[in-house]
Structure 1
Amino acid sequence: MLACCFQYVDLRTRYIELMTLSSQYIKFITINLQRLETEE
């Protein structure tokens, strides 16, 4: 029972990490695209 619980928490943590990384990645790309557009 506990093992299942720990596994779930681990998956949730990884999912949250993934979402955080994704949002940072998207922000990074967006900023760079805007920078490229302003340079042209």
Structure 2
Amino acid sequence: MQEWSTDQDIDAEAKKDADAKKAAEKAAEEELCVPIGEGENCW
């Protein structure tokens, strides 16, 4: 869902693809947690 390349710094923010952007926007509108990976991490 996110693009990262070896040319980026480790701390650089990954670029979200179109699907990831839509999911993040929908979650923000609905105040929902969109889980990313394991645990309680959300967008």
Point out the structure with the larger strand share: 2
Which interval holds the TM-score relative to the shorter structure?
0.3 to 0.5
Structure having the larger proportion of residues in helix = 1
Q: Between Structure 1 and Structure 2, whose CA radius of gyration is higher?
A: 1
